[in-house]
């Protein structure tokens, strides 16, 4: 098995500030988004009850007895075997899943577009793990938060395109609209709730999770909204887990909040930023690399790993990761 310092060090590849940012700053984005949503919902509920008793009936937000928004617990668990790769691989034969960034959105998955180049933030996550990005560059969580802020600015300026998307039944029937990020954040080492194969046995605190480990975090969702996220697949040069281009449907506009296993919506993707080497044995891949951006530039595009004929062995998605959603 690889040494524990190796497991913790590779996430710091973007500079020593990466871990500090991951544990601190990114959490503020998530909390501020959740709090603002809660406060807005409460204000709207109070005003509608006091000023117009019929307003909620007209909108139908309470027709089926459900709340206008619901808190959901998202669990991302590493279900891979502890010996998928040989014991002399850089991970000791294990598959690891890193902390990541997420977005609640309407329309398509805002993290990537198949057939297009990865963003700077996605490249950093796929090559080295941190959702906070390489030192001096925006991370994926920054990019998603900026999308959310742009949406809020448009709404304040009277642009109702986001409202149309979030309430359109087409957003749940496969006819996807352009993505609109509603709020974004990161699940960090502090969100680790289990990691029995952590060499140090210290949970929370391990940057990536080993087999048996899990991240848990909370989101707020309303009808018509979706969830997307990204975590690095370790060991690899630039692979990441993420939902399909449609994202994870959280709450069909004409149904109930989704509950249970949503792993069938998850895929394993190649970011197209660095050529693939043999998992666990290429010196240019995490966790063996000496610098986060080590390795040749591939100049490719994002695509499902199943379309990449690199000749190496990888697990089926459902044999490596399990994602569940639980409304509260």
Distance (Å) of CA 109 to CA 24, 59, 102, 125, 206: 25, 27, 10, 16, 28
Domain that holds residue 55: 4-59+69-327
Query: Is the per-residue pLDDT at 169 higher than 70?
Result: no
Q: pLDDT tens digits for 241-280?
A: 999 999 999 999 888 999 999 999 999 999 999 999 999 9
Using CB atoms within 10 Å of the CB of residue 299, give its burial: 0 to 12 exposed, 13 to 18 middle, 19+ buried: exposed
Calculate the alpha carbon distances from 118 to 44, 126, 143, 211 in Å: 39, 9, 12, 27
Q: Is residue 204 part of a domain?
A: yes
Q: Does residue 233 contact residue 45 with C-beta atoms inside 8 Å?
A: no
The CA distances from residue 51 to 60, 69, 201, 271, 283, in Å, are: 17, 21, 56, 51, 65
In a domain, 195, yes or no: yes
- Note the pLDDT of residue 154: 58
Judged against a pLDDT cut of 50, whether residue 30 lies above it is answered with no
pLDDT-derived band at 179 (thresholds 50, 70, 90) equals confident
Of 73-87, 236-250, 280-294, the poorest mean pLDDT is in: 280-294
Confidence (pLDDT) at 207: 80
In a domain, 64, yes or no: no
Beta-bridge mates of residue 230: 101
The verdict on residue 322 lying in a domain is: yes
Q: Which residues pair with 228 in a beta bridge?
A: 103
Distance CA 57, CA 75 (A): 34
Task: Answer whether residue 61 shows pLDDT above 50.
Answer: no
Q: How many domains does the chain have?
A: 1
Domain assignment present for residue 234? The answer is yes
Q: What is the mean pLDDT of the chain?
A: 79
Distance in angstroms (rounded) separating the CA atoms of residues 220 and 208: 25
User: pTM above the 0.85 mark?
Assistant: no
The residues facing 71 across adjacent strands are 220
Q: What's the average model confidence in pLDDT over 56-67?
A: 44
Is 12 a residue whose pLDDT tops 70? no
List of residues 6+ apart from 88 with CB closer than 8 A: none
Tokens of 249: 């449907």
pLDDT at 67 over 90: no
Residue 103 pLDDT level (bands cut at 50, 70, 90): very high
């Amino acid at each position: 098995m690889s040494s524990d310092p190796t497991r913790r060090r590779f996430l710091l590849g973007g500079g020593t500030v990466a871990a500090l940012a991951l544990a601190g700053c990114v959490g503020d984005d998530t909390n501020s988004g959740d709090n603002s949503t809660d406060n807005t919902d409460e204000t709207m509920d109070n005003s509608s009850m006091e000023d117009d008793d019929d307003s909620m009936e007209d909108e139908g937000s309470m027709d089926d007895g459900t709340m206008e928004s619901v808190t959901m617990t998202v669990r991302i668990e590493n279900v891979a075997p502890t010996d998928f790769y040989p014991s002399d691989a850089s991970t000791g034969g294990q598959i690891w899943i890193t902390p990541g960034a997420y977005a609640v959105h309407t329309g398509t998955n805002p993290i990537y577009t198949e057939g297009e180049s990865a963003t700077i933030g996605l490249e950093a996550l796929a090559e080295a793990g941190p959702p906070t990005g390489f030192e001096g560059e925006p991370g994926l969580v920054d990019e998603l938060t900026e999308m959310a802020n742009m949406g809020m600015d448009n709404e304040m300026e009277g642009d109702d395109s986001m409202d149309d998307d979030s309430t359109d039944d087409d957003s749940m029937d496969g006819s996807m609209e352009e993505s609109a990020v509603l709020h974004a954040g990161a699940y960090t080492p502090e969100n680790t709730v289990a990691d029995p194969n952590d060499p140090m046995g210290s949970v929370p605190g391990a940057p990536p999770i080993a087999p048996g480990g899990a991240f848990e975090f909370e989101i707020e969702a309303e009808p018509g909204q979706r969830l997307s996220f990204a975590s690095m697949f370790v060991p690899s040069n630039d692979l990441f887990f993420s939902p399909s281009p449609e994202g994870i449907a959280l709450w069909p506009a004409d149904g109930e909040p989704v509950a249970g296993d949503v792993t069938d919506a998850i895929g394993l993707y190649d970011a197209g930023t660095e050529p693939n080497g043999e998992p666990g044995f290429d010196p240019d891949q995490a966790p063996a690399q000496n610098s986060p951006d080590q390795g040749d530039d591939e100049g490719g595009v994002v695509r499902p790993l199943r379309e990449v004929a690199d000749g190496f062995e990888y697990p089926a998605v459902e044999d490596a990761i399990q994602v569940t959603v639980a409304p509260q």
